Homo-oligomer: A and B are copies of this chain.
Amino acid sequence: MTEYKLALVGFGGVNRALAQLIAERNESWKSELGFTLKIVGVTDLFLGSVIRREGLDAGLLASLPAVKGALAQVPGGDGEAFNESVIKHCGADIVVEATFTNPVDGEPATSFCRWALEGGKHVVTTNKGPIALHGAELKELARRNNVAFEYEGSVMSGTPVIRLAKQSLAGSSMVGFEGILNGTSNFVLTRMEGGLGFAEAVSEAQAQGYAEADPTADVEGHDVRLKVVILANELLDAKLTVSDVSCSGISSLSLDDIESARRDGARWKLIGAATRHADGSVSASVGPRLLNNDHPLAGISGATNAVSFTTGLLGAVTVSGPGAGRTETAFALLSDIINLHQSVAHN
């Protein structure tokens, strides 16, 4: 039985949900997936850090209070976050990076990924920053060190998008995609269709936990733009940077716009899209778009996300599912580990 030793970097909701899954399901994964997981290190800027090569109690970790320095309560733990020590020296096979997204330079997550890959450790991450801003460099680093670097959860949490496109749709001649890639803005648009004004709808999204205190990144398209960069580079072999993607949000849409769309049998959606042109160049954009009701993305309501791939051999293929959520995003990390297990087992 293969056992992978994990270092959890960032211990917010997502890695905590992963610890909970490990506590509940490790035994059943033996037969179902062919491996088990053991947490040997955890580090978090707020909670502190701990290393235990014999393995930490996943259930205990999952139930730690979210208070400053809480990892000091674990035997051998410390209230300080020794990120570099945990990543480099806890004996992990896989570094599970789930810290916050920094849209400016991707730090400190990018350094965490670099340390791990340079040390010959696999990396799985849900973090958009390192992939959108430094994806090519990190993939090359993984290749040189002969380790896996997987990031399904960077787009649409655990809903399969990157692997669906790269594995199941290989050979289909993909030429573009359009997506509803931000649950907050789609929730806001759906509530505006129910008659709420923009500001009221944002307040409701905040009350329900969809939107941050500062909703700018969600409603102005900045979050979607990072995902468009990731998908375009991954699926269309583009070499886009964030500044290559034009970006506008939904804050300029009025109730009149939305009602007038309804009368015309259409809906406004915030769409992130990219297209590969005949000369091989790729153009990409984020902005509100009026979709007729028969468009594959027109029926996607509330916080659900979806991507419609345009392929030469199949036409449009669309996948929809959750775009966020702790357990949903933790599943993305699990699916990354399943995928690396299959590659490693085969090599």
- Stoichiometry (number of copies): 2
Judge whether B170 and A167 touch: CB under 8 Å: no
Instruction: Given A164-B164, A168-B168, A321-B318, verify A313-B331 contact (CB < 8 Å).
Output: yes
Identify which of residues 145-203 in chain A touch chain B, using a CB-to-CB cut-off of 8 Å.
157-160, 163-164, 167-172
A-B contact list, 20 entries, CB within 8 Å: A33-B170, A158-B172, A159-B314, A159-B317, A160-B164, A160-B169, A163-B167, A168-B168, A171-B335, A293-B299, A294-B302, A313-B330, A313-B331, A314-B322, A315-B321, A317-B320, A317-B321, A318-B319, A319-B319, A346-B346
A293 contacts which chain B residues (CB < 8 A)? 299
A338 contacts which chain B residues (CB < 8 A)? 170-171
Instruction: Given A167-B168, A168-B160, verify A313-B299 contact (CB < 8 Å).
Output: no
Give the contacting residue for A314; candidates B29, B32, B331; CB below 8 A.
Answer: B331
Asked if A250 is an interface residue, CB under 8 A from chain B, the answer is: no
List 17 extra interface pairs beyond A313-B330, A313-B334, CB under 8 A.
A21-B313, A32-B171, A157-B314, A158-B314, A159-B317, A160-B168, A160-B317, A163-B167, A164-B168, A167-B167, A168-B335, A170-B338, A298-B299, A299-B299, A314-B321, A317-B322, A318-B321
How far apart are A165's CB and chain B's nearest CB, in angstroms? 10
User: What total of chain A residues lie within 8 Å of the partner, measured CB to CB?
Assistant: 44
- Measured CB to CB, the residues of A under 8 A from B are 21, 29, 32-33, 157-160, 163-164, 167-172, 293-294, 296, 298-299, 301-302, 304, 313-322, 327-328, 330-331, 334-335, 338, 343, 346-347
Give the contacting residue for A171; candidates B29, B301, B319; CB below 8 A.
Answer: B29
Provide the bound-state CA to CA distance between A157 and B313, in Å.
11
Q: Is the interface of A mostly helix, strand, loop or mixed?
A: mixed
Give the contacting residue for A347; candidates B168, B296, B346; CB below 8 A.
Answer: B346
Closest to A294 in B: B301
Provide the bound-state CA to CA distance between A327 and B173, in Å.
12
Judge whether B313 and A328 touch: CB under 8 Å: yes
A299 contacts which chain B residues (CB < 8 A)? 293, 298-299
Provide the bound-state CA to CA distance between A343 and B316, in Å.
27
How far apart are A146's CB and chain B's nearest CB, in angstroms? 15
A32 contacts which chain B residues (CB < 8 A)? 171
A328 contacts which chain B residues (CB < 8 A)? 313-315
Judge whether B315 and A318 touch: CB under 8 Å: no
Instruction: Given A301-B294, A321-B315, A331-B313, verify A163-B168 contact (CB < 8 Å).
Output: yes
Judge whether B320 and A296 touch: CB under 8 Å: yes
Judge whether B33 and A171 touch: CB under 8 Å: yes
How far apart are A207's CB and chain B's nearest CB, in angstroms? 21
How far apart are A57's CB and chain B's nearest CB, in angstroms? 22
A171 contacts which chain B residues (CB < 8 A)? 29, 32-33, 331, 334-335, 338
A315 contacts which chain B residues (CB < 8 A)? 321-322, 328
Judge whether B316 and A321 touch: CB under 8 Å: yes
A335 contacts which chain B residues (CB < 8 A)? 168-172
Specify which of A21, A171, A304, A320 lies most central, judged by the most chain B CB atoms within 10 Å of its CB: A171
